Structure 1
């Protein structure tokens, strides 16, 4: 027969109400009594009924994490950082993968509310106004990661994506490379990925170079986008010397697509990625890439969300973490 809260109370020599206070982390229980209850819980292997507890407290100690692509080398590290912090504070996580499908993303927000999660860590592939309305209508406590809404209504953890690709493009320009292509996502996308084009554009204009649409390929962040971009660029009667990419997967696709046509990196074309995924340091040639502190992004976001859930003030609600350019062998 399953252990009940009455069994825990009897083992610890306290009332059921005291056990309930310990389980709900109510501060009125002194440390000695709290230890007795926790020891009894451990000894008996008691697991509280989450559903019954949530009906009483209106909290489930569960956080939803919504990512756009779990197969990416970038998002799992964010999830790991978030989950490690959640475990410290005895929260569980529910992971949802939208697979870059905006309708699926909206559905998951509603599903997470139905599952009575206490809050959501939200990495959006779109972040359209409709998503923000859903979050507001459902009263979902939410922290954004990687991107932020334009009015900064929701707390967020990001890097400066415009500055990151600006620095990456400047890195190529400083090497005397002029014909620089860009592969990524449309600049009007309401997320971090769109901002990356703006940094590329800013660096070129500052150098007195107009953006050549023949040298821009905008689709998504996947390997195939980079491979398709390489094919497109090779059909253009212009010599490409460098490529700035909005993800490491894109950069790998570009490099392999060029290599298949006898064009080598970095001897013929320098390529810069974005994210510093683990594979970036193993790929050949090893990728020069913008490093995002992905683990820290997840852990900071989860700490922010837990503070919000416990009605504690945030020191800052729009965190911008540091990025840096990791120089390896894909640029000459």
Structure 2
């Protein structure tokens, strides 16, 4: 039978209230007594009953993380940042993978509420109104990572996706390209990809290049290499003419390059290609991918620090953090 708090109190020769104070890090316990309790906990292999403690403190020391696709190479690095900070502050995490499904996002939000998590780090492929309404209804402390809502209702950690995409496309234009194609996930939804599409259009306009919808493809949510592969094949089958390609993430870019390679179109000799995110695979893929680097780990860690402050009712220095990005020049764009 597992040891109880009464067993710990008896072993340490103290009251149950004293054991509770030690468990909750209340400073009124002197060091000698604290050591006796800690030794008793260790000897008896005592583990606090989280549910019982949460009923008293209204805290479970648990955070939820909602991500769109665990198979994508973007999100594990963000999750590492979340987990490392959670561990520092003695929080456990519950990871929820939604497979880019809005209904699953709503279901997981309700599950996390039932599990009495203290707060949620929310990484979504699309901030639909019904999801935002669900978060409001459940009244869970929530921090958005990678995307911010239009009204800035929630604390968030992002980069300036519009500016970064503008810089990427302007770089392709500086290389002499005039017909720049785009592959992304959506133009309508509130997400990072739609912001990058906006930056793409801005760069064309600023450089007096006409927008051509025939060389723009949306995967309707798909973010993996096979989606980029299919989008590029569709563009090639329609005989569209372009001299460069900007993709809203690296995996889409790598899939597109594979499709070009199969048609014996060389990158970068015939087509310059840029991705976005700087996932690890972009540095070992052939050709090594020119891309925009997001600070993925930092986005997770900063977001978690913000969430813990909100849980503890501490004031945030900023409601919306916009982190720095950088361009990584490799071999998929002509030197």
Partner of 1:162: 162
Q: 1:327 aligns with which of 325, 329, 335?
A: 329
CA contact (8 A) 1:187 1:196 kept: no
Distance of 2:52 and 2:240 partners within structure 1: 67
CA contact (8 A) 1:271 1:331 kept: yes
Partner of 1:305: 307
Establish whether residue 73 from structure 1 lines up as the match of residue 77 from structure 2.
no
CA contact (8 A) 1:179 1:242 kept: yes
Partner of 1:292: 294
Distance of 2:181 and 2:310 partners within structure 1: 42
CA contact (8 A) 2:72 2:223 kept: no
Q: 1:145 to 1:331 in 2, by over 3 A?
A: same
Unpaired segments ≥5 residues, structure 2: none
Using structure 2 for the length normalisation, give the TM-score.
0.95
CA contact (8 A) 1:185 1:197 kept: no
Which moved further from structure 2: 120-129 or 217-226?
A: 217-226
SS in 2 for 1:164: helix
Q: 1:138 to 1:170 in 2, by over 3 A?
A: same
Distance of 1:122 and 1:160 partners within structure 2: 18
SS in 1 for 2:143: strand
Distance of 2:31 and 2:167 partners within structure 1: 53
SS in 2 for 1:274: coil
SS in 1 for 2:121: strand
Partner of 1:283: 285
Distance of 2:157 and 2:63 partners within structure 1: 17
Number of aligned residue pairs: give it: 332
Q: 1:303 to 1:239 in 2, by over 3 A?
A: same
Unpaired segments ≥5 residues, structure 1: none
Cα distance, 1:106 vs. partner?
0.7
Distance of 1:88 and 1:247 partners within structure 2: 31
Using structure 1 for the length normalisation, give the TM-score.
0.96
Partner of 2:183: 183
Root-mean-square deviation (CA, aligned residues, Å) is: 1.4
SS in 2 for 1:63: strand
Q: 1:211 to 1:27 in 2, by over 3 A?
A: farther
Cα distance, 1:60 vs. partner?
0.8
Establish whether residue 84 from structure 1 lines up as the match of residue 52 from structure 2.
no
Q: Could you report, residue by residue, the CA deviation over 1:240-267 in whole angstroms, capped at 9, with x for unpaired residues?
A: 2110001111001100001000101111
Which moved further from structure 2: 291-300 or 8-17?
A: 8-17
Q: Could you report, residue by residue, the CA deviation over 1:222-278 in whole angstroms, capped at 9, with x for unpaired residues?
A: 212211222122234443211000111100110000100010111111111111111
Which moved further from structure 2: 70-79 or 16-25?
A: 16-25
SS in 2 for 1:299: helix
Distance of 1:19 and 1:201 partners within structure 2: 62
Q: 1:79 to 1:208 in 2, by over 3 A?
A: same
Distance of 2:12 and 2:303 partners within structure 1: 37
CA contact (8 A) 2:81 2:299 kept: yes
Distance of 1:288 and 1:210 partners within structure 2: 24
Distance of 1:264 and 1:249 partners within structure 2: 18
Partner of 1:252: 254
Q: 1:13 to 1:134 in 2, by over 3 A?
A: same
Superposed, 1:27-176 pairs within 5 Å as 27-176=27-176
Q: 1:55 to 1:178 in 2, by over 3 A?
A: same
Distance of 2:209 and 2:218 partners within structure 1: 19
Q: Could you report, residue by residue, the CA deviation over 1:23-44 in whole angstroms, capped at 9, with x for unpaired residues?
A: 2233433455434433332333
